[in-house]
A and B are shown apart, each in its own frame.
Chain A
Amino acid sequence: MSTMVVSHLRPGEGGALRLFASQEALLAFAIIGIAILVGLYNPRFLATRNLADIVLGNAYIAVAAIGMSMVIVSGNIDISVGSLIGVLATISGTLAVAGVPIILVWLTPLVVGILVMMLQGAVIAYLRIPAIVVTLGMLSILKGGLISVTGGRWITDLPQSFHLADIELFGILPMPVLIMVAATILAALWMRYSASGRAIYATGGNAEAARLCGVSPRRTVVMVFALHGLFAGIAALLFATQLKVIQSTVPPNLELTVITAAVVGGVSILGGVGTVVGSTLAAVLIAEIASALVFINVSPYWIHAVQGALILVTVVADILRRRRRQVGG
């Protein structure tokens, strides 16, 4: 009955500094390091246009990863987000072409996203079906639904006002970056400082203890999925409004990239640990690697292998680290 000494990997002390811990620093170094190395090999990598493309084009993944991080911290997983984003993008495009006021075009995907995810969250929390089963099933329902409803048609003739992503605030700040950074900071602060945010960590870390302290793990899970749906909606908007044409298909393997970003960003798959700042940095890193592959003449077909290897290495390292810190059995 002796208590195990499980000390945490984060040295974290002090308030605000808690937002930044070793994993995030590691990612920041990696991003800079790769930029330097690849830039030396092929200076065109560092061209403003390219760097801007990397960040702008993939900001939506970072946003989606925020929600995914929360889901994983709470001790669950979701593999339906890719399909959901595809569906939401198509919805917004369709509404735009149909002449619906632009504010509704932007709001509807958010609402639909929240509802769909909340439904999954409720099934997981209250009907106690494992998250993998629910989200695997939902992935197929969404994917198949999208194809059968749209017949794979492309949406063209999008009105100019649709392109939210092209807006630059004050003429210099591109919307995607603005939204990505703002969402990350807000989410990070919320998770860190609000009671509900704390509840997510408590639920994922030790659901029993959480319940004994008055936190409701079930309500927390539904809330987490609702937020995840919100971020998926925002991500869908960023994704869709960059395109001239919306292909009514699901961007392939999007959920994998999002999960990779969350896991590599430091969210532990065992639940209860991780920050959204990490996942945003990781999303940027992954996008950077994908671009770097092109510039060092490696075929871009290797990107998924790289992603898989990244998840694997991160997870194995995380588990080994935890085990080494436990004294005895």
Chain B
Amino acid sequence: MSDARNAPVREGGPAAPLLAVAGIEKSFPGVRALSGVSFEVAPGEVHALLGENGAGKSTLIKIISGVYQPDAGTIHVDGRPLRLDSPDDARRAGIATIYQELLLFRDLTVAENVFMGHAPRSRGGRLDWKAMAAKTEALLAALEIVDLAPSRIVGSLSVGNRQRVEILRALSQDARLLIMDEPTAALTEYDVTRLFDIVRRLKSRGVGIIYISHRMDEIFQLADRVTVLRDGAQVGTRRVVETSSAELVQMMVGRQIESLFPKVAVAVGAPVLEVRDLVRRPMTKSISLTVRAGEILGLAGLVGSGRSELAQTIFGVTPAESGRILVFGEPVQIRSPGRARALGIAYVPEDRATQGLVRPMNVRENFSLASLAKVARFGFIDAAAETRLAETGVTRFRVRAGSLDQVVGRLSGGNQQKIVLGKWLANQPKLLILDEPTRGIDVGAKAEIHRLMCELAAQGLAILMISSELPEVLGMSDRVLVMREGRLVAEFSRAEATPEAVGAAMMGSQGADAGRAA
């Protein structure tokens, strides 16, 4: 999708782009992650990558850094076609990635971390410490970092400094293309400014940067071009000077909201859960909300906005430090999941594999995991009751498994999710907290789960639904709350909730395109 309007910003003739990917396709079992994405980065360009969660950004950069291989499409580096079959190949081609979870060794020094695995050696094969320190100094100077010495222990550094060590490490391997994935997510204002300085310096050295961020103001300050992905496809590439945040948001989220299942209006009843000024460091910073019987409350926000942390605080996994929780109007203390369960709260976690299911156990055992007391008398499990419970669940939720003895680890994502849901519903909860209920699930199972949610709401259950998929949030919720960086920043009624409004609140982007830094 290249036309003159979207050509790289640099003057100086048609230099071959640093990186050019074309027609990239990638599918995983059950889901098409990327369909025909083309994308270019010129030397010295900052090219931002924008998209909702699940849009395909992380798959794309994993392909570029050699972790995945595309099903179709080409990759060119400096105009030459390349195959990147492993992270090593990408590294040799000059591509380096700075991840959010930094891979550093706390006990070693800056220089050791920078050169781990490729340290300069002197004759005899011993490590050349002097060379290591000198080279590190040189890299620091190139980026004009003055407050970091090669001999400092990484474990004692701030997050901002550690990130700089990662950047140094990439540079030490002569990276010419740097991929930064949400680099400012954990940084202070000061560190963000310094990061920008470094990015500008890298630009002037001709390093190309792929910059993934949800923060509009950053994109407008730093990037030359921006590419928007949506549902695995490329919506468009724009030069930053020629677009606005409104247009970008529209490209990110604007789509037909097909009703996945027509929502039935349900009479909303009394408050089931009320939360007042709930605090739990570091991600929950004074939250207040109410969920009523029969209501589906959608909680939207970017990954890392603190929604799962909030859910886990309400559920007692990481108990609140201050604030109040009321269930049916009664103040309660929830210090453990067992207590939450006893109060009628259920939590279907975000990561069903590690948090929701015991994968080596079979269907029957997983179904009863949260309601053992129900199928036991005096502590002894009643095999018949347990079987009945499981059979009911399998029928009701249409779980497709060979038998009740089937080990759940082998079932599909959709079926696994239904079991987790069923396990909790067996308890007849009053409040159901769903964390990304249809993530990684095929369309058919998605629809079933949505229908189930509507049924449950009609029966008087209160539902708090955390989701990063805007269509789901907008289609299913009676009200939508938006969280950002640990706080609630917006509330919309069903009528008010439009993709643009909610999307904008998620990213805090009102007015970001005004006043772009020079």
Which A residues are within 8 Å of any B CB, using their own CB? 1-3, 5-8, 10-15, 18, 193-195, 198, 201-202, 205-206, 208-210, 212-215, 272-273, 327-329
Give Cα A205–Cα B104 distance, bound, in whole angstroms. 9
Q: CB within 8 A of B106: which of A6, A193, A195, A212?
A: A6
Give Cα A288–Cα B193 distance, bound, in whole angstroms. 55
User: Tally of A-B residue pairs with Cβ under 8 A?
Assistant: 97
Looking at A13, A206, A329, the one whose CB has the most chain B CB atoms below 10 A away is A329
Whether the Cβ atoms of A1 and B185 lie closer than 8 Å is yes
A206, closest chain B residue (CB): B105
Chain A residues within 8 Å of B318, by CB:
328-329
Give Cα A13–Cα B107 distance, bound, in whole angstroms. 11
Which B residues are within 8 Å of any A CB, using their own CB? 87, 100-109, 112, 116-119, 126-127, 129, 149, 151-153, 155-156, 158-159, 162, 182, 185-186, 280-283, 303-304, 309, 312, 318
Given A13-B151, A195-B119, A215-B117, A327 contacting B103 (CB threshold 8 A):
no
Whether the Cβ atoms of A8 and B153 lie closer than 8 Å is yes
- The secondary-structure label for the interface of chain A is loop
Q: Shortest distance in angstroms between B95's beta carbon and chain A's nearest beta carbon?
A: 15
Q: List 5 A-B contacts (CB under 8 A).
A: A8-B107, A8-B155, A10-B155, A198-B116, A205-B106
Whether the Cβ atoms of B282 and A201 lie closer than 8 Å is no
Give Cα A328–Cα B107 distance, bound, in whole angstroms. 22
Looking at A2, A5, A11, the one whose CB has the most chain B CB atoms below 10 A away is A2
Q: CB within 8 A of A201: which of B87, B107, B119?
A: B107
- For the complex with contacts A1-B185, A12-B153, A329-B309, 15 further pairs of A-B residues with Cβ separation under 8 Å are A1-B303, A2-B186, A2-B283, A3-B162, A15-B151, A18-B109, A193-B129, A201-B105, A201-B107, A206-B103, A209-B105, A327-B281, A328-B281, A329-B312, A329-B318
Q: Shortest distance in angstroms between B166's beta carbon and chain A's nearest beta carbon?
A: 11
A275, closest chain B residue (CB): B107
Looking at B101, B155, B282, B304, the one whose CB has the most chain A CB atoms below 10 A away is B155
Whether the Cβ atoms of B87 and A212 lie closer than 8 Å is yes
Q: Shortest distance in angstroms between B51's beta carbon and chain A's nearest beta carbon?
A: 16
Q: CB within 8 A of B186: which of A3, A18, A202?
A: A3
Q: Shortest distance in angstroms between B106's beta carbon and chain A's nearest beta carbon?
A: 5
Give Cα A125–Cα B309 distance, bound, in whole angstroms. 37
Give Cα A193–Cα B312 distance, bound, in whole angstroms. 44
A12, closest chain B residue (CB): B153
Chain B residues within 8 Å of A202, by CB:
105, 108, 116
- The secondary-structure label for the interface of chain B is loop
Give Cα A209–Cα B113 distance, bound, in whole angstroms. 11
Given A3-B186, A329-B309, A273 contacting B107 (CB threshold 8 A):
yes
Q: CB within 8 A of A328: which of B152, B155, B282?
A: B282
Chain A residues within 8 Å of B156, by CB:
7-8, 10-13
Ranked 3 nearest A-B pairs via Cβ = A8-B155, A214-B117, A213-B117
Q: CB within 8 A of A272: which of B102, B107, B149, B281?
A: B107
A209, closest chain B residue (CB): B103
Q: Shortest distance in angstroms between A252's beta carbon and chain B's nearest beta carbon?
A: 35
B106, closest chain A residue (CB): A8
Give Cα A14–Cα B111 distance, bound, in whole angstroms. 12
A14, closest chain B residue (CB): B151
A5, closest chain B residue (CB): B159
B126, closest chain A residue (CB): A194
Chain B residues within 8 Å of A1, by CB:
100-101, 182, 185, 303-304
Chain A residues within 8 Å of B105, by CB:
201-202, 205-206, 209-210, 272
B162, closest chain A residue (CB): A3
Whether the Cβ atoms of B108 and A3 lie closer than 8 Å is no
Give Cα A195–Cα B102 distance, bound, in whole angstroms. 21
A10, closest chain B residue (CB): B153
Give Cα A273–Cα B106 distance, bound, in whole angstroms. 9
Given A8-B107, A201-B105, A18 contacting B100 (CB threshold 8 A):
no
Whether the Cβ atoms of B282 and A198 lie closer than 8 Å is no
Give Cα A202–Cα B109 distance, bound, in whole angstroms. 12
Whether the Cβ atoms of A3 and B159 lie closer than 8 Å is yes
Whether the Cβ atoms of B102 and A3 lie closer than 8 Å is yes
Give Cα A2–Cα B309 distance, bound, in whole angstroms. 12
B121, closest chain A residue (CB): A195
Whether the Cβ atoms of A2 and B104 lie closer than 8 Å is no
Q: Shortest distance in angstroms between B111's beta carbon and chain A's nearest beta carbon?
A: 10
Chain B residues within 8 Å of A272, by CB:
105-107
Q: Shortest distance in angstroms between B184's beta carbon and chain A's nearest beta carbon?
A: 11
Given A6-B155, A10-B155, A329-B309, A209 contacting B104 (CB threshold 8 A):
yes
Q: Shortest distance in angstroms between A107's beta carbon and chain B's nearest beta carbon?
A: 25
Q: CB within 8 A of A2: which of B108, B127, B280, B282?
A: B282
Give Cα A19–Cα B303 distance, bound, in whole angstroms. 42
Give Cα A214–Cα B149 distance, bound, in whole angstroms. 24
